[in-house]
């Protein structure tokens, strides 16, 4: 079968590999759609730990076409992959912090993922998606990660929320915060993303920190950093009101640093939190998509064949691009 493999840092390409076979407790999935994530670009550049050679792709949907011993999922079931496999026995797992599992294995990062015609995943990581379009189901994982950040930030009706970054996580965060009853301002330099933010429910969309300050001089109750760059990480506390919260969802390269003034956080009692992956949120994300409570159609920039995926991953995202989906067939 064809698969997009990361062979080493800076080396990625499409090749033919043997079709996988499920072991006990696993299912074989015909991949229907897989999303290219910023993390895939970090993996390509060696900025996020992984285990090459490996087939990338941790955001994907598909159809179960075979099941091994101990699996009760009917063949033909459409699913979304929850890519994180916690061990269940380490200290963090026993505390319920499965996203911090010391032995977490991520599909598409540590074991073969969804940029392929077929993928094998544990049956308990296959979340049924009744009636959901495969393109939309592929966005369950980024929505689940965003939900965790919203859970931590806990916006309430009437609060003011600033979202920094107009990528997929930022535009999902806009919708989730609006669904919680908050007024939401998106900050991004890209005019097309500002327009898109207004389309999916933002109260305001501005280009700069100065514009956000002019709009809400006292700052926001909650700032969600969704860009994963030094500029926005450093900007987030400055846009937060006294007693407010910051949640960092964006992924900066491993080893990168940002300057934060501890005295400012102390004197204004700013709560600074970080949100990592999707603990127990994937099922909720699928339910929201099935119920049509989140608009993901507008966030799909383009759909490409598997043959183009390696080139897209190896290059920066196009200006204004939100989510590129890969369709293997």
My answer on whether 122 and 6 are in the same domain is yes
Answer yes or no: is 50 within a domain.
yes
Burial of 221 (0-12, 13-18, 19+ CB in 10 A): buried
Task: Give the tens place of pLDDT for each residue, 38-89.
Answer: 999 999 999 999 999 999 999 999 999 999 999 999 999 999 999 999 999 9
My answer on whether 35 and 147 are in the same domain is no
- pLDDT exceeds 90 at position 146: yes
Distance CA 221, CA 180 (A): 13
Average pLDDT over residues 210-236: 98
My answer on whether 154 and 203 are in the same domain is yes
Average pLDDT over residues 159-185: 98
Distance CA 141, CA 171 (A): 14
My answer on whether 11 and 135 are in the same domain is yes
Distance CA 85, CA 82 (A): 8
- Helices 282-290, 140-153: inter-axial angle, 10-degree rounding: 110
Average pLDDT over residues 307-317: 97
My answer on whether 169 and 264 are in the same domain is yes
Average pLDDT over residues 188-193: 97
Number of independent structural domains in the chain: 2
My answer on whether 97 and 113 are in the same domain is yes
Question: What stretch of H or E contains 276?
Answer: none
Q: Cα separations (Å) of 87 from 97, 99, 120?
A: 11, 10, 18
- pLDDT exceeds 90 at position 329: no
Q: What is the CATH number of the domain that holds 172?
A: 3.40.50.720
Q: What is the CATH number of the domain that holds 32?
A: 3.90.180.10
Q: Which domain holds residue 249?
A: 143-274
Answer yes or no: is 83 within a domain.
yes
My answer on whether 133 and 192 are in the same domain is no
Above pLDDT 90, what percent of the chain? 99
My answer on whether 157 and 202 are in the same domain is yes
My answer on whether 227 and 301 are in the same domain is no
Average pLDDT over residues 223-238: 98
Its pTM surpasses 0.85: yes
């Amino acid at each position: 079968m064809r698969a997009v493999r990361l062979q080493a840092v800076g080396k990625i390409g499409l090749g033919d590999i043997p079709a996988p076979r499920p072991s006990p407790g696993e299912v074989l999935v015909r991949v229907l759609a897989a999303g290219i994530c910023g993390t895939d670009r970090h993996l390509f550049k060696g900025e996020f730990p992984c285990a090459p050679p490996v087939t990338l792709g941790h955001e994907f949907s598909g159809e179960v076409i075979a099941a091994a011993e101990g699996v009760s999922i009917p063949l033909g079931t459409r699913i979304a992959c929850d890519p994180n496999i916690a061990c269940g026995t380490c200290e963090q797992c026993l505390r319920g912090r499965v996203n911090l599992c010391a032995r977490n294995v991520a599909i598409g990062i540590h074991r073969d993922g969804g940029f392929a015609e077929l993928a094998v995943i544990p049956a308990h990581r296959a979340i049924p998606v009744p009636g959901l379009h495969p393109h939309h189901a592929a966005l369950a994982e980024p929505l689940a990660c965003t939900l965790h950040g919203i859970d931590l930030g806990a916006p309430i009706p009437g609060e003011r929320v600033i979202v920094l970054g107009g990528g997929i996580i930022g535009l999902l965060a806009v919708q989730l915060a609006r669904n919680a009853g908050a007024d939401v301002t998106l900050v991004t330099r890209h005019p097309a993303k500002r327009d898109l933010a207004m389309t999916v429910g933002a109260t305001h969309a501005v280009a700069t920190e100065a514009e956000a300050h002019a709009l809400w001089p006292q700052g926001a109750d909650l700032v969600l950093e969704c860009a994963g760059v030094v500029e926005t990480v450093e900007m987030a506390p400055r846009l937060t009101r006294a007693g407010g919260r910051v949640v960092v969802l964006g992924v900066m390269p491993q080893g990168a640093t940002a300057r934060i003034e501890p005295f400012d956080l102390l004197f204004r009692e700013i709560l600074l939190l970080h949100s990592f992956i999707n603990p127990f949120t994937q099922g909720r994300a699928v339910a929201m998509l099935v119920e049509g409570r989140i608009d993901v159609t507008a966030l799909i920039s383009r759909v490409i064949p598997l043959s183009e995926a390696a080139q897209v991953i190896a290059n920066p995202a196009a200006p204004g691009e939100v989510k590129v989906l890969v369709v293997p067939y």
